[in-house]
Amino acid sequence: MIQIDIEELGKIKLALTNIGIISKEAMIEQSSKAGNKGRIAIRKRMLQSTTDWTQDYSKDGKRILRKNKNSLSQVLGVRIAHRNSGGIDNPSNMANFITSFTMESTGTTVIGGVHKGFYPSQIKDGKIIGKLGRVSGVSRQTIAILEKLNNGSRGDYGQYLEWKNGKKSHFDESKWKKRHFFENGWNDVKGQVVTDMTTKLAEIIGKRANNMDLREKQYAV
- How many Cα atoms occupy the beta-carbon half-sphere of 13 within 13 Å? 10
Residue 180, pLDDT score: 94
Which residues on adjacent β-strands are paired with residue 138?
115
Cα dihedral sign, 25-30-34-40: positive
Report domain extents, the chain. Answer: 4-208
Residue 141, pLDDT score: 85
Residue 12, pLDDT score: 47
Contact 205, 26 (CB under 8 A): yes
> Mean pLDDT for each 10-residue chunk of the chain (221 residues)?
55 48 79 92 95 76 72 79 70 93 87 91 84 91 89 65 54 72 95 88 78 47 35
User: Rounded to two decimals, what is the model's pTM?
Assistant: 0.75
User: Which amino acid is it at 102?
Assistant: T
- What is residue 171's three-state secondary structure? coil
Q: What is d(CA 150, CA 153) in angstroms, rounded to the nearest whole number?
A: 8
- How many Cα atoms occupy the beta-carbon half-sphere of 117 within 13 Å? 4
